[in-house]
Chain A
Amino acid sequence: MIETEFTPWASAFGGALIGLASVFLMWVRGNVFGATGILAGFLQPSSSTDWSWRAAILAGMLTGPLIFLAATGGFPAIEVPVSTLSMIIGGLIVGVGVTYGSGCTSGHGVCGMARFSPRSIVATLTFMAGTAVVVFLTRHVIGL
């Protein structure tokens, strides 16, 4: 376990930018800013025009941390308190889950919740519960 500092201002500012990006994308082209959906359609596009906007948005997402680097002189902190095996299995499970669940934290948690979609509210509460269960079990029961 790694202790992390409580950062209400930076986190709220970052969250506001995530919200702004979601509103902006809806205004520009009427799409939901869901990372799962954007990536899925990028990997298996339905047409070339469908692919190009996803490529553009992913390129933009990759640019964000580079601007952070230019402004602060360092990349954002990425501290990993889990094993590589956990990371591999976790990634696989996330990939399967978001595909069956039709969305993740950005699609359901921000965009869906913001338009009060009952489906997204159920999805968000459900995945948060799943995460809390695993963190409790790995940290306080199994003691990884």
Chain B
Amino acid sequence: MKLLLTYLAGVVFGLGIAISGMANPAKVLNFFDVFGTWDPSLAFVMGAALLVTAPGYMLVFKRPKPAFAESFKLPGTKLIDRKLVLGSFTFGLGWGLAGFCPGAALPVISTGNPSVLIFTASLITGMLLARWLIATTARRQDAAQAN
């Protein structure tokens, strides 16, 4: 039941991405091109998503715990550090080059569109590379501290 409802959350998300235009790089990049072929549609995607999620979360968080789990799993750190800012800025640079972000590209893998497949393969490569780099750096720091 829990897995089926989880699947259903994915379906609603994927349908939302398909309807919203988020999975269309031309539309996404035009949102950022205020001085060119500007298309403000994406503000309506983000705006509507926030108008639903903010009050929806407030209602959900009034409950002591989720319907099918013991606790809410929210990110623990509140740190605004260089890693967050530089990482996010880097993500923005890539988003501006490709026109896809992860949440928009993943659902439309099922369309078989070659650009989506190329983007997703690169995305996964970049993620694994970064995770390896982060783990290697952490190990080196641990080793340096042990000395």
List B residues 12-56 near A (Cβ within 8 Å). Answer: 12-27, 29-30, 32-33, 35-37, 39-42, 44-54, 56
Are A28 and B5 CB-contacts (below 8 A) given A15-B45, A119-B80, A127-B92? yes
Q: Quick check: B48 and A57 within 8 Å, CB to CB?
A: no
Chain A residues touching B, majority SS:
helix
Q: Contact: A65 with B122, CB < 8 Å?
A: no
Which residues of B approach A to under 8 Å, CB–CB? 2-27, 29-30, 32-33, 35-37, 39-42, 44-54, 56-57, 59-61, 63, 65-69, 71-75, 77-80, 83-104, 106-111, 113, 115-116, 118-131, 134
Q: Which of A21, A26, A80, A91: most chain B Cβ within 10 A?
A: A91
B139 → chain A, closest Cβ, in Å? 16
Please measure, in the bound complex, the distance between the C-alpha atom of A114 and the C-alpha atom of B25, giving whole angstroms: 25
Complex contacts, B101 vs chain A, CB 8 Å: 35, 94, 104-106
With A30-B73, A57-B7, A61-B13 known to touch, is A94 a contact of B123 (CB < 8 Å)? yes
- Let me know if B53 and A22 touch, CB within 8 A: yes
- Name the prevailing secondary structure of the B interface residues: helix
The answer to whether A33 and B9 touch across the interface, beta carbons within 8 angstroms, is yes
Is the pair B56, A22 in contact by a Cβ cutoff of 8 Å? yes
- Chain A residues near B89: list those with CB within 8 A: 97, 101, 126-127, 129-130
CB-based contact A67/B45 at 8 Å: no
Within the assembled complex, what's the spacing in Å between the Cα atoms of A63 and B12? Answer: 9
Closest-CB distance, A124 to chain B (whole angstroms):
8
Contact of B24 (CB < 8 Å), options: A79, A104, A117: A79
Which residues on the A side are within 8 Å of B128 (C-beta)?
Answer: 43-44, 95
Write out the residue numbers on chain A whose beta carbons fall within 8 Å of the beta carbon of B123. Answer: 39, 91-92, 94-95
B27 touches A4 (CB 8 A): yes
> Other CB < 8 Å A-B pairs besides A22-B52, A78-B108, 7 of them?
A60-B6, A63-B11, A65-B17, A78-B24, A78-B113, A94-B123, A100-B84
Query: Which A1-53 residues have a C-beta within 8 angstroms of B?
Result: 1-8, 10-36, 39-40, 43-44, 52-53
A60 and B47 contact, CB distance less than 8 A: no
